[in-house]
Structure 1
Amino acid sequence: MAPGAPAPLAEWWQRLLARLLDALILAIPTFIITFALSGLAVAPSINFETGEIDTGDTFLYTLLTTVIAAVIYLAYELFMLKQNGQTVGKMALGIKVVQVGSHSTAGGLPMDAAAKRAGVFYGPQLVRWIPFVGWIVGLFSLVNVLWQFWDRPLQQCLHDKAASTVVVKVK
């Protein structure tokens, strides 16, 4: 057990599988909303006088779907961590987010810690629609999650560091 953690730290693969499960769960409402938006924002239309086909506004579609998806993921993470310190994926894998130095795994995170953690993890996705910035956001997201592999002794990702949290095993 690492100093500052009330239980043994979660394994990297547990964290990854929990994220993948959460992504599958969140893909459903995200897909439904983006599918509906595609019909509104990118609906092709035919100009019968000229015979030209207008393919719609793909920029607006990209902007809306990116921002809406980021808000869905941010809200889910924030609400679940504040309530119990666990998302559905974390519950299924028996892991939980707790504050560094906490001596208990009971309850959820304080609102400020949950907001910092969710904000650093999903917040950058809000600007991913900007062409060059999207590439930087992708690189930041990769470094963020890989940080746990060289961070010692708490194996924190950057979003954990921002919120002073660790992910521990509860099962």
Structure 2
Amino acid sequence: MTTDQPRPGDEGDPDRDGDRAPGEPAGPDPGIPKAPPPGDPYGANPYGNGEGAVDPLAGMPPLPSRFRRLIARVIDAIVVGVPVSLLLWPLRGDYDWNENASTGGSWTQQAIVLLVYFLYEGLMLSARGQTLGKMAVRIRVAMLDDGAVPRGNPAWNRAAVYSLPQLVPCIGFLFWLVNVLWCTWDQPYRQCLHDKSARTVVVTAV
């Protein structure tokens, strides 16, 4: 004799085939993670802003080591500095950049290199978030808000804060030194001052 008693495990299960009307979609698969609820700080924003979040690094690609960032800068300095210096060499003529430093010779050469580096970095970061040095060590610059490539103003802002203050004698170098060392104690994103100015973060490239 058959009964209408429910089978064990069937109580309250809205997704049983027998309880669904024809054409009614099945309920959510318990094996698929649910989408973040509206307002979740890492729903549409994988990087987040750290406000009210338990883990401000949740959802971010790994942060690279500071050593990798240093190597990227060294590579970029060689990529820009060597060709520009070679191009300036024929223009020297009888003028000695070093012996005439007091009249601005060496400063002019340094200024040209810094301006070219500024243009190089601004263009590369705006195009793809990476310079040649960053490509070599597989890191990239991303917007802190959403991880996007820092196109336009953020890229140029970042490049300007890194390069252009060095045009100011003495004080510019001190600012540059503090700027690049800032990431050694900054938490949680290891940002330098040029990152904070542009609201960017350096992450590992996938």
TM-score range with shorter-chain normalisation?
0.7 to 0.9
Q: TM-score, normalised by structure 1?
A: 0.78
Q: Tell me which residue corresponds to 1:33.
A: 87
Aligned to 1:120: 161
Q: Which residue of structure 2 aligns with residue 15 of structure 1?
A: 69
- Equivalence map 1:20-169=2 (5 Å): 20-39=74-93, 41-42=95-96, 59-103=103-147, 108-127=149-168, 134-169=169-204
The change in CA–CA distance for 1:18 and 1:125 in structure 2 (over 3 A counts) is: same
CA drift of 1:82 comes to: 0.5
CA shift for structure 1 position 67: 1.9
Could you list the structure 1 runs, at least 4 aligned residues long, displaced by more than 3 angstroms after superposition.
Answer: 40-43, 55-58
- Cα 1:88/1:103, change in 2 over 3 Å: closer
Contact 1:5 1:101 in 2 (8 A): no
Measured in 2, the distance between the counterparts of 1:60 and 1:92 equals 35
Identify, as 1 or 2, the structure richer in helix: 1
Give aligned-pair identity as a percent. Answer: 38
Unaligned 5+ runs, structure 1:
44-54, 128-133
Q: In structure 2, how many angstroms separate the alpha carbons of the residues matched to 1:87 and 1:165?
A: 15
Q: Deviations over 1:52-83 (max 9, x none)?
A: xxx77862422421221111110010010001
Which protein, 1 or 2, shows the higher relative CO under an 8 Å CA cutoff with sep ≥ 6? 1
Q: Secondary structure at the match of 1:167?
A: strand
Deviation (angstroms), 1:11: 1.0
Contact 1:147 1:158 in 2 (8 A): yes
Question: Secondary structure of 1:96's partner?
Answer: strand
How many residue pairs are counted as aligned between the two chains? 151
CA distance in 2, matches of 1:26, 1:144: 20
How far residue 140 of structure 1 moved from its aligned partner, in angstroms, is 1.1
- Partners of 2:101 and 2:107 within 8 A in 1: no
Structure 2 distance, partners of 1:146, 1:97, is 17
Counterpart CA distance in 2 for 1:57 and 1:150 is 36
User: SS state of the match for residue 191, structure 2?
Assistant: coil
How far apart are the structure 2 equivalents of 1:97 and 1:57?
A: 36
SS in 1 for 2:170: helix
| TM-score normalised over the length of structure 2 | 0.66
Q: In 2, Cα distance between the equivalents of 1:157 and 1:147?
A: 5
